[in-house]
Amino acid sequence: MSDLPATEAQSARSRDLDTRSIVDVVRLIVEDQRRAADAVLAQRAAIARVVEVLATRVRAGGRIHYVGAGTSGRLGVLDASEMPPTFGCDPSLVCAHIAGGERAMRAAVEGAEDDDDAGRTAMRGHVEPDDAVLGISASGGARYVAGALHAAHEIGAYTVALVNVAQAPLVHIADDAVVIETGAEVLTGSTRLKAGTAQKIALNAISTALMVRLGKVYDNLMIDVVATNAKLRERAERLVCMLAGIDAARARELLAQADGRAKVAVVMATREIDARTAATLLARVRGNLRALL
Assess whether pLDDT exceeds 50 at residue 31.
Answer: yes
User: What tens digit of pLDDT does each residue of 182-204 get?
Assistant: 999 999 999 999 999 999 999 99
Assess whether pLDDT exceeds 90 at residue 3.
Answer: no
* Percent of the chain whose pLDDT exceeds 90: 85
Q: In what order do the strands lie in the sheet with 176-179?
A: 94-98, 64-68, 132-137, 158-163, 176-179
User: What tens digit of pLDDT does each residue of 105-140 get?
Assistant: 888 887 888 889 999 999 999 999 999 999 999 999
Parse the chain into domains and list their residue ranges. 7-213, 230-291
Give the pLDDT of residue 1: 47
Average pLDDT of the chain, as a whole number: 94
Instruction: Evaluate whether 145 touches 135 at the Cβ level (below 8 Å).
Output: yes
Give the pLDDT of residue 106: 87
| CATH 3.30.930.10 at 7-213, yes or no | no
User: Residue range 140-151: average pLDDT?
Assistant: 96
Catalytic, 113? Answer yes
Whole-number Å distance between alpha carbons of 185 and 10: 7
Residue-wise burial string across 42-71, b where 16 or more C-beta atoms lie within 10 A, e elsewhere? ebeebbeebbeebbebbeeebbbbbbbbbb
Q: Which of 15-29, 50-64, 100-114, 129-143 has the lowest mean pLDDT?
A: 100-114
Measured from the Cβ of residue 142, the count of other Cβ atoms closer than 10 Å reads 30
Q: Of 8, 31, 82, 185, which is the active-site residue?
A: 82
User: What tens digit of pLDDT does each residue of 266-278 get?
Assistant: 999 999 999 999 9
Give the pLDDT of residue 2: 55
User: What tens digit of pLDDT does each residue of 88-98 get?
Assistant: 899 999 999 99
Q: Of 31, 52, 110, 113, which is the active-site residue?
A: 113
Give the pLDDT of residue 228: 78
Dump the DSSP string for 230-284.
HHHHHHHHHHHHHHHT--HHHHHHHHHHTTT-HHHHHHHHHHT--HHHHHHHHHH
Q: Which CATH class is domain 230-291?
A: mainly alpha
Dump the DSSP string for the chain.
-TTS-GGGSBPSTTTTGGGS-HHHHHHHHHHHHHHHHHHHHTTHHHHHHHHHHHHHHHHTT--EEEEESHHHHHHHHHHHHHHHHHH---TTSEEEEETT-GGGGTS--TTGGG-HHHHHHHHTTT--TT-EEEEEESSS--HHHHHHHHHHHHHT-EEEEEESSTT-GGGGTSSEEEE----SBSSTT-TTTHHHHHHHHHHHHHHHHHHHHTT--BTTB-TT----SHHHHHHHHHHHHHHHT--HHHHHHHHHHTTT-HHHHHHHHHHT--HHHHHHHHHHTTT-GGGT-
Query: pTM of the full predicted structure?
Result: 0.91
User: Residue range 143-153: average pLDDT?
Assistant: 97
Catalytic, 82? Answer yes
Whole-number Å distance between alpha carbons of 282 and 98: 35
Q: How confident is the model at residue 214 (pLDDT cuts 50, 70, 90)?
A: very high
- Asked whether this chain's domains 7-213 and 230-291 adopt the same fold, the reply is no
